[in-house]
């Protein structure tokens, strides 16, 4: 339905175009799903297939039909979703590298290249992005507290860029005055601290443009005493202004709009699911995460043990934290922004919870 759209798409145009796909019919709540994740699907990358092949509704009005036939609460699911992403295309932005045990002085190296790249953010709509390693958001950087973090940065883009890391580091590693011109390089090196969920982004002027264009990513520092084992996920909330009016008209997590509505995330009932959540949405004061049918523990910034038990968190730009969930029931459970317009403009998805 969204094929053939012009490259520049206003917020109002997108809502009008997408509205027919979002008409609520039979609700998904309470519908069991056959063909859900098996024991072998505990590995990273175990999304449902691109067309949710093998999944059928087994109860209710939709028995025997594909779940894609059921737009739900302000939502869509399955192949009708106007997301250009393949089923595993953005797994590297969802599943973080494995944590490593505490070993002070160990060197953790990453190579980051800034490039200009047109990316498809919803079917038929492209965005002229500035990227770290070709994606928006950029790659996940992970270290353990007291590791020596070494990030080799090369600017292959058309504008001056930097990398600014949240956390603790020397002044000359801050990414404010150390501007890297096109064709230039700089190595950032500092001990990783403190443990928690952090982020990184470009700090060249004009700052709002460099962030909005896509130069940001997740930065995880693990504590010296490991967190309990869990299914770990990263979600970076962000938006796209495709018509250049200084307001987002498409919203997303980890890349294109509607990614996890087209490809729900498989988890198991009762397992510990840990989400590293960050908000890097430019132009809007807040973004949010709301989970249906379950509550979670929210640890602000992930730097301590205090948590709030809730199903919704609101974050301003740059805020982040860690969510921990154990699902009590099986089935499809929606998650989305509780700024409801963001939901309709692309920031929505599902967990497919199986035994």
Q: What is the mean pLDDT of each run of 10 residues along the chain (355 residues)?
A: 47 56 33 30 40 36 38 64 94 98 97 98 96 98 98 98 98 96 98 98 96 98 98 98 95 97 97 98 97 98 97 98 98 96 95 97
- How far apart CA 96 and CA 102 sit, in angstroms, is 17
Residue 135 shares a structural domain with residue 238: no
**Structural domain range at position 344:** 11-93+229-354
Question: Are residue 256 and residue 323 in the same domain, yes or no?
Answer: yes
- Same domain? For 83 and 186 the reply is no
Residue 55 CA to residue 32 CA, distance in Å, equals 10
Q: Are residues 253 and 336 in the same domain?
A: yes
Domain count, the chain: 2
Q: Which residue has the tokens 């498809």?
A: 120
Can you give the CATH number for the domain in which 169 is found? 2.60.40.420
pLDDT for the residue numbered 53: 37
pLDDT for the residue 179 = 96
197 plus 245 within the same structural domain: no
The residue behind tokens 């202004």 is 241
Q: Write the DSSP assignment of 53-65 as a string of letters.
A: TT-EE-SSTTTTS
Task: Give the per-residue pLDDT at 67.
Answer: 41
For 293, counting Cβ atoms within 10 Å of its Cβ (0-12 exposed, 13-18 middle, 19+ buried), the class is middle
184 within domain boundaries: yes
104 and 82 together in one domain: no
Q: Are 30 and 118 within one domain?
A: no
Residue 240 lies in a domain: yes
* 153 within some domain: yes
Give the per-residue pLDDT at 80.
Answer: 84
The torsion angles phi and psi of 51, rounded to 5 degrees, stand at: -105, 15
**CA-CA distances (angstroms) from residue 34 to 52, 54, 193?**
11, 7, 44
Residue reference for tokens 């501007």: 179
The pLDDT value given to residue 104: 96
Residue 5 lies in a domain: no
pTM over 0.75: yes
Whether residues 129 and 243 share a domain: the answer is no
Q: What is the C-alpha separation between 320 and 112, in angstroms, rounded?
A: 22
Confidence (pLDDT) at 166: 98
Strands 296-300 and 286-291: unpaired
């Amino acid at each position: 339905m969204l094929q053939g759209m012009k490259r520049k798409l206003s917020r109002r145009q997108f809502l009008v175009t997408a509205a027919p796909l979002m008409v609520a019919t039979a609700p998904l709540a309470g519908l069991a799903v056959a063909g859900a994740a098996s024991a072998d699907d505990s590995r990273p990358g175990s999304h449902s297939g691109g067309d949710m092949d093998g999944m059928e509704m087994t109860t209710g009005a939709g028995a025997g039909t594909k779940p894609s036939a059921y737009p739900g609460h302000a939502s869509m699911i399955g192949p009708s979703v106007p997301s250009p992403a393949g089923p595993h295309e953005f797994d590297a932005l969802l599943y973080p590298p494995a944590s490593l045990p505490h070993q002070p002085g160990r060197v953790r190296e990453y190579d980051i290249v800034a490039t200009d790249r047109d990316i498809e953010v919803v079917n038929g709509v492209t965005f002229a992005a500035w990227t770290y390693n070709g994606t928006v958001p950029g790659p996940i950087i992970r270290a353990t507290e007291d590791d020596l973090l070494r990030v080799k940065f090369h600017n292959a883009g058309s504008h001056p860029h930097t990398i600014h890391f949240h956390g603790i580091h020397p002044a000359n590693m801050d990414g404010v005055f150390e501007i890297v011109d096109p064709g230039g390089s700089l190595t950032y090196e500092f001990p990783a601290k403190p443990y928690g969920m952090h982020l990184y982004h470009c700090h060249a002027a004009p700052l709002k443009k460099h962030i909005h264009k896509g130069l940001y990513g997740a930065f995880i520092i693990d504590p010296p005493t490991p967190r309990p084992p869990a299914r770990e996920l990263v979600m970076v909330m962000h938006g796209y202004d495709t018509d250049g009016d200084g307001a987002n008209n498409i919203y997303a997590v980890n890349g294109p709009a509607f990614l996890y509505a087209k490809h729900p995330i498989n988890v198991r009932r009762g397992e510990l699911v840990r989400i590293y959540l960050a908000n890097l949405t430019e132009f809007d004061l807040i973004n949010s995460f709301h989970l249906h049918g379950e509550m979670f523990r929210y640890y602000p910034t992930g730097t301590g043990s205090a948590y709030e038990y809730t199903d919704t968190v609101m974050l301003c730009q740059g805020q982040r934290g860690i969510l921990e969930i154990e699902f009590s029931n099986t089935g499809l459970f929606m998650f989305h922004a509780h700024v409801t317009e963001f939901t309709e403009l692309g920031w929505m998805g599902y967990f497919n919870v199986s035994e």
